[in-house]
């Protein structure tokens, strides 16, 4: 993982001629020790395994906000998760509160740590800690899957200094800050093994004179894909189960593959989490599946290719309109290559093989 990330940074911000390539692990080790971490921290993290995280925070100027509006969910693969916790700096070392959970409270903000058999989970609330428990399972980890996958949207305007958020040395913080400051949205997936054609092409690309500063790598849908409809990211209040269990006769209409499908009689009173809500909707919809990814609901058509489409959800005429609960997405994104200047379509269209 660190080798891949180091190659990414080297391509983004190449070292001076004759200088050695970025050794991300060494930089990270030095940076952590300087910040007060014990050497056991990095040794306890399984760097070759899958790690996943999600972060959402309000922008400055978005109205009254508090630390409660920040959502953080992280799952780090670890060989010794308890040792990793005990190797945190003294001033940020959490206290055990039982059931393999540790709590750190500072300025009315809490951070929870949970030691699993092979993972260290971090979140700001117990519900988000449970969401973190499933993050790694959602990451494709096959031999042909990319080793780095990153997605971000609605990034705040202005200068972002990564070093203010993460204890990283300047050699690493500067290029990361540069990436974020030059980008308003990121949807990035790449494998930077030295044998990868992307890596070889990038080496040649950055040898040009004058040297370019950016390289974009796009996704090509080699095979037919299914239409996908993504909902807005739910706020902490919208995730409260009390708002969902009150719905006993939910309804909506959604056009799937060109046919309007009306779903009604949705009863969430017995659901214990939003995964359960998604399962109830998916069962009733039949022609498409619905999943909760920890932040939003995602609808995927059961078909693929050019005829695989999803339209907007609308009221069904009777019953509780669950679209107002954000259970059916009101925003869409195209899951296949699109020119940057092309406006977003009103319906979601799958990609056909080409």
Cα–Cα–Cα angle for 335, 137, 115, rounded to 5 degrees: 140
291 forms bridges with which residues in the sheet?
A: 298
Q: What does the pLDDT profile of the chain (354 residues) look like in tens digits?
A: 566 666 666 655 666 666 676 677 777 888 888 889 998 898 899 988 889 998 887 766 666 667 677 888 999 999 999 999 999 998 889 999 999 999 999 877 889 999 999 999 999 999 999 999 989 988 877 766 666 676 666 666 555 665 555 555 565 566 666 666 665 555 555 565 556 677 677 778 877 888 777 777 666 777 888 888 887 777 778 888 888 998 898 888 888 988 999 888 899 999 999 899 999 999 999 999 998 888 788 899 999 888 888 887 777 766 565 643 433 433 232 333 332 322 222 233 333 332
Q: What is the DSSP letter of 45?
A: B
Q: In terms of DSSP H, where are the helices of the chain? A: 2-12, 24-34, 40-44, 81-86, 126-132, 170-181, 197-205, 241-245, 274-285
Backbone angles phi, psi at 241, to 5 degrees: -65, -25
Cis peptide before 193 (omega within 30 of 0): no
Read off the tokens for 94.
């959490």
C-alpha span between 89 and 85 (Å, rounded)? 9
Report helix, strand or coil for 174: helix
């Amino acid at each position: 993982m660190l080798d891949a990330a180091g190659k990414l940074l080297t391509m983004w911000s190449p070292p001076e001629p004759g200088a050695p390539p970025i050794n991300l692990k060494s930089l990270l080790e030095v940076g952590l020790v300087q910040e007060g971490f014990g050497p056991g921290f990095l040794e306890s993290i399984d760097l070759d395994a899958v790690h996943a995280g999600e972060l959402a925070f309000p922008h400055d100027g978005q109205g009254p906000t508090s630390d409660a509006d920040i959502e953080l969910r992280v799952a780090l693969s670890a060989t010794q998760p308890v040792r990793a916790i005990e190797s945190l700096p003294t001033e940020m070392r959490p206290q055990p509160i039982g059931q393999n959970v540790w709590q750190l409270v500072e300025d009315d903000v809490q951070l929870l740590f949970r030691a699993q058999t092979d993972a260290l989970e971090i979140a700001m609330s117990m519900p988000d800690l449970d969401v973190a428990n499933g993050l790694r399972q959602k990451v494709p980890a096959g031999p042909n899957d990319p080793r780095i996958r990153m997605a971000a949207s609605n990034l705040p305007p202005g200068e972002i200094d990564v070093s203010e958020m993460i204890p990283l040395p300047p050699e690493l913080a500067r290029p990361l800050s540069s990436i974020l400051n030059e980008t308003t949205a990121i949807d990035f997936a790449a494998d930077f093994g030295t044998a990868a054609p992307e890596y070889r092409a990038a080496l040649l690309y950055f040898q040009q004179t004058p040297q370019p500063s950016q390289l974009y790598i796009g996704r090509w849908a080699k095979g037919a894909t299914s239409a996908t409809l993504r909902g807005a990211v739910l706020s902490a209040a919208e995730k409260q189960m009390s708002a969902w269990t009150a719905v006993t006769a939910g309804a909506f209409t959604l056009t799937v593959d060109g046919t309007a499908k009306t779903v009604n009689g949705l009863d969430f009173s017995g659901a214990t989490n939003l995964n359960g809500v998604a399962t109830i909707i998916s069962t009733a919809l039949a022609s498409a599946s619905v999943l909760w990814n920890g932040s939003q609901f995602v609808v995927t058509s059961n078909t693929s290719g050019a005829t695989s489409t999803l339209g907007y959800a609308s009221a069904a005429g009777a019953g509780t309109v669950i679209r107002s609960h954000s259970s059916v997405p009101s925003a869409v994104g195209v899951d296949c290559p699109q020119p940057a200047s092309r406006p977003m379509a009103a319906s979601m269209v799958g990609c056909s093989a080409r």
